[in-house]
Amino acid sequence: MIGSCREHGLPPPQFREVGTHLRVSLRLLRQSPPTGDPVEARILRFFAERNGLSIRQVAELVSLSPRSARTKLKNLVDRGLIVEIGSTPTDPSRLYDSRADAPR
């Protein structure tokens, strides 16, 4: 929760114990610009230049292990910044693309 607030430029949450409960207060006014992940930003720049990249290609381009690249790509898919192209979730020839009109 604290890291997510920091990533979005928000102040850290306040935690207070109220009786037998815990109250978490979030402030929505940004204190700084969102930071974001620099590796994910590099990945998105590569997608702007190329169409359809595999996990292995992304891993090589940003000097990550395939497992780390897969995690970064999953985060980008979950946030709607790229799309996953494959016939099944375990398709070994699955590609990723930044185009909203890319076939799924």
CATH number for the domain including 69?
1.10.10.10
Domain count, the chain: 2
Residue 69's pLDDT is 92
Look at residue 16 and tell me if it is in a domain. yes
- Residue 58 lies in domain: 38-97
Residue 1's pLDDT is 84
User: Which residues 6+ apart lie within 8 Å of 30 measured at CB?
Assistant: 8, 9, 10
Look at residue 102 and tell me if it is in a domain. no
Residues 11-46 have pLDDT tens digits of 889 999 999 999 999 988 776 666 678 898 889 888
Indicate whether 55 and 44 sit together in one domain.
Answer: yes
Residue 6's pLDDT is 79
Under DSSP, the state recorded for 90 is: T
Residue 92's pLDDT is 79
Look at residue 9 and tell me if it is in a domain. yes
Residue 103: pLDDT above 80?
no
